[in-house]
Amino acid sequence: MTDFTARRTMMVDTQVRPSDVTKFPIIDAMLKVAREDYVPAARREAAYLGENISLGEGRVVLEPRTLAKMLDELGIENDELVLDIGCGYGYSSAVIAHMAEAVVAVESDEQMAKEAQETLINADIDNVIVHPGALAEGAQQHGPYDVMIVQGGVAEVPEALLAQLKNGGRIGCLFMDGPLGEVRLGYKSDHGISWRKSFNAAAPLLNGFTRAKEFQL
């Protein structure tokens, strides 16, 4: 029988801590949340590898290092409302729930959304709402949000989504340019979003986050 607890500890010790992620709430959450419960059954044995876990149709669970470093940069506080975009089966939302006051998790696949909510409830995580719907539309009715995080690659972020972020809020996105990508942190003010580069990573582009084609007459 696989000792997933030992694998979880090894993941944190070999993938998360060496990436300069040392904030206790992140380490604690990643040690507690059973990553194997939030991936397809056929991928349970691969849940703790240092790579993105495929959910099919271009969707992934981000590798532990990428998620941990994004959370480290975002610095989520325990009185904040977080929008988790593209939660899949709910792993990222489960981790964030240990840090935030509440999480709204958007998932476009209705079956994944249903299973995510069930898994979160079974894990006694009661501060996450799974919102079925288009990822690029967010969940305006529950906002505005202190923090947003996108669980996949983007080329650009829709304005309708950015409008749901509070002034003074933060957003973490993985911007892809071909096979290469970099995580950027955005800070919202009256003047819009100010982005800064953080670290390199990669993930498939999400539907609704591709760059609009420019047409010339």
Fold for domain 4-200?
Rossmann fold (3.40.50)
| CA pseudo-torsion sign 176, 182, 187, 189 | negative
- Does the structure show a pLDDT above 90 at 214? no
- Does the structure show a pLDDT above 60 at 212? yes
pLDDT of 213: 61
Find the mean pLDDT for residues 22-30.
96
The two three-digit tokens of residue 1, written as one number = 């029988």
- Does the structure show a pLDDT above 60 at 81? yes
pLDDT of 211: 83
- Does the structure show a pLDDT above 90 at 127? yes
Find the mean pLDDT for residues 210-214.
70
Find the mean pLDDT for residues 21-30.
96
pLDDT of 105: 98
Percent of the chain whose pLDDT exceeds 70: 97
pLDDT of 122: 97
- Reading phi first (left if > 0) and then psi (alpha if -120 to 50, else beta), residue 194 is in beta
CA dihedral of residues 28, 32, 34, 35 (deg, nearest 10): 0
pLDDT of 65: 98
**Domain map of the chain by residue range?**
4-200
pLDDT of 23: 94
**Cα→Cα distances 80→99, 105, 206, Å:** 9, 14, 25
* Interval 148-186: pLDDT, tens: 999 999 999 999 999 999 999 999 999 999 989 999 999
* pTM of the full structure: 0.95
**For the chain, what is the mean pLDDT?**
95
Scan for tokens 């325990």, then name that residue: 78
Q: 71: closest CA among 194, 198, 180, 166?
A: 198
Q: Which of 6-15, 61-70, 80-89, 206-215 is the least confident region?
A: 206-215
pLDDT of 46: 95
